[in-house]
Homo-oligomer: A and B are copies of this chain.
Amino acid sequence: MKGTPVQDLPTYEDVAAAARRIEGHAYKTPVLTSATLDKELGARVFLKAENFQRMGAFKFRGAYNALSRFTDAQKKAGVLAFSSGNHAQAIALSAKLLGIAATIIMPEDAPAAKLEATKGYGGRVVIYDRYSQDRDEVSRRVQEETGATLIPPFDHPDIIAGQGTAVKELIEEAGELDALFVCLGGGGLLAGSALAARGLSPEAEIYGVEPEAGNDGQQSFRAGSIVRIATPKTIADGAQTTALGALTFEIIRREARDILAVSDAELVAAMRFFAERMKIVVEPTGCLGLAGLRRSAEQVRGKRVGVIISGGNVDLHRFAALLAGSA
């Protein structure tokens, strides 16, 4: 990897433009605080609650931003995405709101609830067998049939800029920050958050937080080039990515202070804290930021810290099992 040319990377201006496009369509989610957490850490912590975002996760921001930039011809031909998670629902809902046909390619073994949710938003779902069919081949076939534009889940300038709007809102409401803890899967949210922070709170130290089992981002950050891993086994299903993207890696390499990795047990402890003390439901991936912050207690004492709670989409039985310690 030689790095992406500077001129191709999105900037703070793209985040600001995305914020104008999504205004009135995405929710302006609340910034929460907890006296208990502040006392525990000796810091002032501001948590951006994207579990209250439309469709339950920050992913709506990037998807809506990307689709609202479609030309008339693109709108007519529709959008295509592959995902079994929040990106699929974000594309399906954004497409519905903008009057664009959406096709979502999902594996046959995707959870029924996610399949139904995506259909519920009006998306056409194309199922493929991940053992006998190649997803890219299925995708190419749909693109040839329809002329639809493929929107990837993270490595796209409009997705990155859209995700950055959450941190833009956070800093506008809470003021400048000394540090920011953001969950890291493919890097769309972390890269966008870094761009937003550079524009509004330039001194803030940016930390990405990954599950230990899937620490490809940490490895990549330290190696200085993208490291690819096998699909990791972790409860943080939104961070089961196998590699960062070219754009997201380049931004993260330049802007992040460090990448931390936390255990599933630390994620469950954060999930319990959110439920018991803050009365909110957070999906395992959404717990990465708080778990990473707690790992960094020494460094943040006396500081103003931001945390992104990325989403709240977790199957209730799984959530209950994790809370009860039986998962």
* Most chain B CB within a 10 A radius of its CB, from A51, A279, A281, A317: A279
List the one stretch of A246-254, A299-307, A318-326 in contact with chain B: A318-326
Contact pick for A323, options B30, B272, B316, CB 8 Å: B316
Residues of chain B within 8 A of A275, CB atoms compared: 281, 316, 319
Q: Residue A37 at the B interface, CB < 8 A?
A: no
Contact pick for A320, options B30, B279, B312, B323, CB 8 Å: B323
Q: Residue A172 at the B interface, CB < 8 A?
A: no
Interface residues of A, dominant DSSP: helix
Contact pick for A312, options B279, B323, B324, CB 8 Å: B279
Asked if A319 and B312 make an inter-chain contact with CB atoms under 8 angstroms apart, the answer reads no
How many copies of this chain are found per oligomer?
2
Q: Residue A52 at the B interface, CB < 8 A?
A: yes
User: How close is A16's CB to chain B, nearest CB, in angstroms?
Assistant: 27
CA distance A21 to B324 in the complex (A): 40
CA distance A254 to B317 in the complex (A): 44
Residues of chain B within 8 A of A272, CB atoms compared: 316
Nearest B residue to A50 via CB reads B279
User: Can you spell out 9 A-B residue pairs with CB atoms less than 8 angstroms apart?
Assistant: A272-B316, A279-B281, A279-B282, A279-B312, A281-B281, A316-B324, A317-B323, A319-B323, A320-B321
Q: Contacts A276-B316, A279-B312, A321-B324 given; 6 further ones with Cβ under 8 A?
A: A276-B281, A280-B281, A317-B324, A319-B320, A320-B320, A320-B321
